[in-house]
Amino acid sequence: MKKIMFVFGTRPEAIKMAPVINEIKKNKRFNLVNVITAQHREMLDQVIDYFDIPVHYDLNIMTKNQTLSLITALVIERLEEVIVYEKPDMIVVHGDTTTTMAASLVGFYNHIPIAHVEAGLRTNDLYSPFPEEFNRTLVDKISTLHFAPTSRSKENLLEEKIDSKKISITGNTSIDALDLTITEDYHHPVLDQVNPQNQFILLTTHRRENFGNTLTSIFQVVLDIVNKYQTIEFIFPVHPNPRVSELAYQMLGNQERIHLIEPLNVFDFHNIAKRSFIIMSDSGGVQEEGPSFDKPILVLRDVTERPEGVEAGALKLVGSDKQKIMTELERLINDQDYYQKISSVKNPYGDGKASQRIVETIEAYFDQ
């Protein structure tokens, strides 16, 4: 049996890795080893519990005021010991986190093949998003297998002289995860707080590049909308980072139609998103999942590494400009035909079978 090691440390990674891990678990050719770094402890644990992901090693690197340098150093130091002991035949990483970058380096230094799920995403701006653009570019340089979610992602890799034989277009595993979470029979206490005659906008924001004045602008739009439209409410699962939460409660707390709540587990988030009117987010995963919810997605970023959704018309890139966000929101609120056009776009990021394709490609690699 070949030993396949998965390394991840954040909530989005766990959501997108869960379907792949499930496929590996069902395959008798592979022995599974899961290593979590707990780069984001509490939010990661929610997903692990929900998907019942077995954890074989917990590096437990999370500290107060952790820096990117410290995360990198701790992952490299602690993962090295696990790899030397376990001797995996392949390491599977996901996306663009600091955990992913550091784990790939350790694998590379130990001559272990790296398989990169969600390979080839690019903005071509090294500092936006930061540090994700650097992380994923580095990981793709040293990976053996590249699982590109779309043809655009594959083209990005080919432009960087990655061997086409190492690239597979799989779709995005986030779409696979929706099959494990969405249900018709759903209830959450926050939905009871929303007037049944009203519609609610789901807001999420957490990216470093949106901290400070940018976040202030986004929150001001939220206030302006609820003041102008009495039938619109907001549900905002507040990220635990103090730079988000402190400003959120300062600006948006004690507002009757703005519901600030704790971060949602993946089951609750997907089902609340499915019932929303509009989704506003700077999350990469939400950009991928959103079209499957049949909702317009306003992307609170100036650039995106997921242009397929913008080109298809499912995503609207509004950045952090107050007037641009306000204009787009008002058009969606007031123009029903425009709303229907955006919310009916087919999801360009996958068909729910990405994990199956990934495991088949790993099998083929070891058959060579």
Q: Which residues are catalytic?
A: 96, 118, 132, 206, 208, 239
* Residue keyed to tokens 């995360």: 71
H/E element holding 31? strand 30-36
User: Reduced to 3 states, what is the DSSP secondary structure of residue 190?
Assistant: helix
Rg from Cα positions in the chain: 20
Is there a cis peptide before residue 131, judged by omega within 30 degrees of 0? yes
C-alpha angle 280-283-288 in degrees, rounded to nearest 5: 90
C-alpha angle 338-343-344 in degrees, rounded to nearest 5: 100
User: What single DSSP character describes residue 238?
Assistant: -
> Quick one: how far is CA 272 from the chain centroid?
17
Identity (one letter) of the amino acid at 130?
Answer: F
* Residue keyed to tokens 């992602």: 153
What is the end-to-end Cα distance of the chain in Å, rounded?
Answer: 15
User: Reduced to 3 states, what is the DSSP secondary structure of residue 203?
Assistant: strand
Check: CB of residue 238 under 8 Å from CB of residue 249. yes
